[in-house]
Amino acid sequence: MKLILLGPPGAGKGTQAAKIAERYSLAHISTGDMLRAEIASETPLGKEAKAIIDRGELVPDEIIIGMVANRIKQPDCVNGFLLDGFPRTIAQAESLLGFSEIDRAVCISIPDEMIIDRMAKRRVCPACKRTYSVEPGSRWEQFFCTECGARLITRDDDKPETVRHRLEVYAEQTYPLVEFFRSRDMLSEVDGTGTVDEVAGNIFRLFEGE
Q: Which residues does the annotation mark as catalytic? A: 13, 88, 122, 155, 166
Residue in 81, 86, 180, 181 binding ligand AMP, rule: CB under 6 A:
86
Please report, as residue ranges, which positions from 9 to 48 form the binding site for ligand AMP (by CB under 6 A): 9, 31-32, 35
Determine if 67 is a binding residue for ligand AMP (CB under 6 A).
no
- Shortest Å, Cβ 39 to ligand AMP: 10
Residue in 19, 28, 50, 88 binding ligand AMP, rule: CB under 6 A:
88
CB within 8 A of 202, min separation 6: which ones? Answer: 190, 191, 194
The window from 19-27, 37-45, 80-88, 139-147 that contacts ligand AMP (CB under 6 A) reads 80-88
Q: Are 19 and 130 in contact (CB under 8 A)?
A: no
Please report, as residue ranges, which positions from 135 to 164 form the binding site for ligand AMP (by CB under 6 A): 157
DSSP state of 30: E
Angle 45-47-48 (CA atoms, 0-180°, nearest 5)?
65
Q: How far is CA 53 from CA 95, 134, 155, 162, 186, in A?
A: 22, 23, 10, 9, 29
Question: Closest CB to ligand AMP among 165 and 201?
Answer: 165
Q: How far is CA 146 from CA 19, 39, 173, 174, in A?
A: 17, 24, 35, 33
Q: Helix, strand, or coil here: 43? A: coil
Question: Closest CB to ligand AMP among 46 and 201?
Answer: 46
Residue in 21, 59, 119, 163 binding ligand AMP, rule: CB under 6 A:
59
Binding residues vs ligand AMP (CB under 6 A): 9, 31-32, 35, 52-53, 57-59, 64, 85-88, 92, 157, 166
